[in-house]
Structure 1
Amino acid sequence: MSVLAAAEPGAGRIITAGVCAIILTVGIGRFAYTPLLPVMRAEAGLSTIGAGWLATINYVGYVGGALIASRIHTLERKWFLYRLGLVLAVLTTLAMGLTNNFWLWMVLRLISGWASTAGMLLATGLVLNWLLRHQRPAELGIHFAGFGIGMVLSGLAAILMLDRLSWSGQWYVLALFGTLFLVPAWFWLPRPPAAKNMSLTSDSDLPSRLWMIAFSLAYFCGGFGYVITATFIVDIIRNMHAVAVSGNWIWIIMGLAATPSCFLWDRVSSSIGELWSLSLAYALQAASFALITFGSQPISLFAGAVLFGATVIGTVSLTLSIVGKMFPNNPAKAMARLTISYGAAQILGPIVAAYMAGMSTDYHASLSVGTGIAVFGTCLSILCARYGARLRHRLRK
């Protein structure tokens, strides 16, 4: 909120462009697959293991995009790839409905995963770089609101299209819908200026290698538990015959909780610091996994959905904000390197969950494993916060 309040009209446009980029590339291009998964299984013959592979290959593309971003040193090239990702997000969403060939789906989801880095990494880095250059508060809460908005929109679209359109028709509508967000994302984020030799930080201020390993591993653990829930939650609830709750509505609740949570975590981090706020977010996220895993009543599913939505943005936005401030000269590159850890978890999670579900006929075992790994990641994040005192002066800026 403080960013927009203090910003000139041009800054408001830049922030809005970043929000639209996340809605398009993540909320639609990447997350629409979750609410459409049951109808694809019912009408297009997609198996549980096939669904897991489609989710995994999407995250392979995401990691590939992060690797490319980590090796690009100029903001202008990042801006070019950002625009390319916006276009590919729309085209791959459209093309998903044009075929029922599994291997073509794999290729499309791979490209879609790469395109999602345009919103999560490139847009985030470009927006953060602009805020830092113009001495604005480097709060990414508004920017990451696009994450939750995208979840809500994809879930509502799936409900409105249910029993009205075929699985392919639903992909077409979502692609058309995505073009509405492509326009501001394309035109309102300007070409960055030529890079200058800035010295916003020194080597002595950088975190130790051991600290960064622990920080990255905590992010991996959070990502593993997150991706199992985010990928299969609609299908998980559909298979809970004793629970009369729509999986799409649970998905929407997650998105509704995620949208305002970014502002909450900005406020929490202002009070207790970003490192301790991140630890709290990890702990609550692990609790959400446990509620969804072991809960058998609608109230536990609703509570788990709210906690999941309220923390998924917190863990991502706080992590990227922390690492972006540690490496202000090239935040997108630093974010990309850390995202490789998160992406590795997102590659492993869906396929492990799919095979475990195939062996046990439900997702309980895979959810339990995801919850345990998330708890371990929470412990690592607490250690990072405990021994990160020397970094706190920079994280307050």
Structure 2
Amino acid sequence: MPKSPPPQLLAWQVLLGGICALVLTIGLARFAYTPLLPQMQAQAGLGLADGGLLAAINYAGYMSGALLAAWIESPLWRQRLYSWGLPLALLVTALMGWSSSFGAWAVSRYVGGLCGAAGMLLGSGLVQGWLMRAGHRPELGIYFIGLGLGIVVSALGAMGMTRLQLGWAAQWQGFALLGLAFLIPAWRWRPPVPPPPAKAAAGASPSRRWMALMVAAYFCAGWGFVINATFTVAIVEKQPLLAGQGPWAWLLVGLAATPAVFVWDRIARRTGDVGALLIAFGAQIVGVLLPALAGGLAAALAGALLYGATFIGIVSLTLALVGRRSPANPGKAMARLTLSYGVAQISAPALTGRMVEASGSFDAALWLTAAVLAAGMGCLIAVLREPRGS
């Protein structure tokens, strides 16, 4: 008997499956590291500089995945690698708790970065391509709810397991078990293998200068993203009288990020994508500088709130914009842009860890991050002057 065709997926299934994939490949395989970093420092002897180095290794894996995503043309292999990244994300999360060896942690962080690239780049390209083929609006705001939700899951999970007095290793194992709940829908509702890409129409691709400016702006965004993603909890914990409050700041990041995707999509409809990006960059600069300008829990939490509300908009708006400008293979275009994001993600946490150890304060690193974000705004202003710049 001939095989029956696979069941047709609905838009809500594809989007929900993608959201669960992001929680799995980014929220657990990457973001769980942020609330667990102080515990690993206190219980496993992980130094701040080595903590930054592990974050850099994670982003080296992410950049390797971006290189692979930019190189692969085959729709079959893009979908296949995305699928492999889902269960592998669970494995590398569990690996963090199976060993106290820095080498094992480094392997976990590197492979976790590969999984993150699968979820962010291959997954977003597959979902956006499916939405365009199915006649839906090709915005990725709903898809990127998975980033904010992943932060919420990692924060609540760490807080809950800490209340149960579980050690750092047991918490990593707990996150791996929790990931099973997200693996099932992510696997079941994967976007199908897309058809071979059609030849792009003449003039459909963005100009080299436009792409170069977006690459530079996204590098600056990556710098701002990774400093907060790696050290938000540690920044709060380092302040006098705020010990033990760090996970609340990380939870606030996720709570701000989860609904923000809808807001940024609507802002972009009024101001254009680049206009919305300028607003997001400016607000993130304010959030970065708040902990440096004012001590206390209120400033730290306000900075976390602004970071959560803005980084998600920068990522979703940039990737969706570049994907729409490259309809033949949106995932490949996103991956090329993300390579610059990855360079920032490798260099920034390692440099920040050294700066903090040398000075005993995060202030200099936060001012440097604000300056990098301001340079990104300059690149975006130049984009507006390009043909079809908005």
Verify the 8 A CA contact 2:14 2:127 in the aligned structure 1: yes
Provide closer, same or farther for how the CA distance between residues 36 and 193 of structure 1 changes in structure 2, counting only shifts above 3 A: same
CA-CA distance at 1:377 after TM superposition:
0.9
CA-CA distance at 1:293 after TM superposition:
2.6
Counterpart residue type for residue 114 of structure 1: L
What is residue 148 of structure 1 aligned with on the other side? Answer: 148
What is residue 363 of structure 1 aligned with on the other side? Answer: 362
Q: Establish whether residue 314 from structure 1 lines up as the match of residue 313 from structure 2.
A: yes
Verify the 8 A CA contact 1:58 1:110 in the aligned structure 2: yes
Instruction: Please list the CA deviations of residues 8-60 of structure 1 after superposition, one character each: whole Å capped at 9, or x if unmatched.
Output: 96121111111011000001110000000000001101011110110000000
TM-score, normalised with respect to structure 2? 0.95
CA-CA distance at 1:235 after TM superposition:
1.0
RMSD over equivalenced CA pairs, Å: 1.5
Provide closer, same or farther for how the CA distance between residues 173 and 187 of structure 1 changes in structure 2, counting only shifts above 3 A: same
What is residue 175 of structure 1 aligned with on the other side? Answer: 176
CA-CA distance at 1:170 after TM superposition:
0.1
What is residue 109 of structure 2 aligned with on the other side? Answer: 109
What is residue 387 of structure 1 aligned with on the other side? Answer: 385
Summarize the alignment of residues 24-43 of structure 1 with structure 2, pairs less than 5 Å apart. 24-43=24-43
| Residue identity (%) | 43
Verify the 8 A CA contact 2:236 2:297 in the aligned structure 1: no
Partner Cα separation in structure 2 for residue 196 and residue 378 of structure 1: 33
What is residue 5 of structure 1 aligned with on the other side? Answer: none
Partner Cα separation in structure 1 for residue 281 and residue 244 of structure 2: 26
Partner Cα separation in structure 2 for residue 39 and residue 155 of structure 1: 13
CA-CA distance at 1:193 after TM superposition:
3.9
Partner Cα separation in structure 2 for residue 129 and residue 40 of structure 1: 40
CA-CA distance at 1:209 after TM superposition:
1.5
CA-CA distance at 1:243 after TM superposition:
4.1
What is residue 232 of structure 1 aligned with on the other side? Answer: 231
Partner Cα separation in structure 2 for residue 98 and residue 273 of structure 1: 47
What is residue 332 of structure 1 aligned with on the other side? Answer: 331
What is residue 4 of structure 1 aligned with on the other side? Answer: none
Partner Cα separation in structure 2 for residue 220 and residue 302 of structure 1: 25
Counterpart residue type for residue 299 of structure 1: A
Q: Establish whether residue 130 from structure 1 lines up as the match of residue 130 from structure 2.
A: yes
CA-CA distance at 1:359 after TM superposition:
0.6
- Secondary structure, aligned partner of 1:225: helix
Could you tell which deviates more after superposition, 20-29 or 285-294? Answer: 285-294
Counterpart residue type for residue 28 of structure 1: L
What is residue 264 of structure 2 aligned with on the other side? Answer: 265
What is residue 192 of structure 1 aligned with on the other side? Answer: 193
Q: Establish whether residue 221 from structure 1 lines up as the match of residue 220 from structure 2.
A: yes
Partner Cα separation in structure 1 for residue 88 and residue 287 of structure 2: 33
CA-CA distance at 1:140 after TM superposition:
0.8
Could you tell which deviates more after superposition, 229-238 or 207-216? Answer: 207-216
CA-CA distance at 1:272 after TM superposition:
1.2
TM-score, normalised with respect to structure 1? 0.93
Instruction: Please list the CA deviations of residues 168-196 of structure 1 after superposition, one character each: whole Å capped at 9, or x if unmatched.
Output: 10000000111111111111114324315
Q: How many residues are aligned here?
A: 382
Instruction: Please list the CA deviations of residues 364-396 of structure 1 after superposition, one character each: whole Å capped at 9, or x if unmatched.
Output: 211111111111111221221x2144255xxxx
Provide closer, same or farther for how the CA distance between residues 194 and 209 of structure 1 changes in structure 2, counting only shifts above 3 A: closer
What is residue 51 of structure 2 aligned with on the other side? Answer: 51
What is residue 87 of structure 1 aligned with on the other side? Answer: 87
- Secondary structure, aligned partner of 2:143: helix
Counterpart residue type for residue 252 of structure 1: L
Partner Cα separation in structure 1 for residue 386 and residue 271 of structure 2: 13
CA-CA distance at 1:245 after TM superposition:
6.9
Partner Cα separation in structure 2 for residue 244 and residue 348 of structure 1: 28
Partner Cα separation in structure 2 for residue 263 and residue 190 of structure 1: 22
Counterpart residue type for residue 374 of structure 1: L
Instruction: Please list the CA deviations of residues 315-355 of structure 1 after superposition, one character each: whole Å capped at 9, or x if unmatched.
Output: 00000001001101000000000000001000001000001
Verify the 8 A CA contact 2:204 2:326 in the aligned structure 1: no
Partner Cα separation in structure 2 for residue 129 and residue 332 of structure 1: 8
Q: Which runs of 5+ in 2 are unaligned?
A: 1-7
CA-CA distance at 1:299 after TM superposition:
2.3
Counterpart residue type for residue 64 of structure 1: S
What is residue 161 of structure 2 aligned with on the other side? Answer: 161
Counterpart residue type for residue 179 of structure 1: L
- Secondary structure, aligned partner of 2:31: coil
CA-CA distance at 1:297 after TM superposition:
2.8
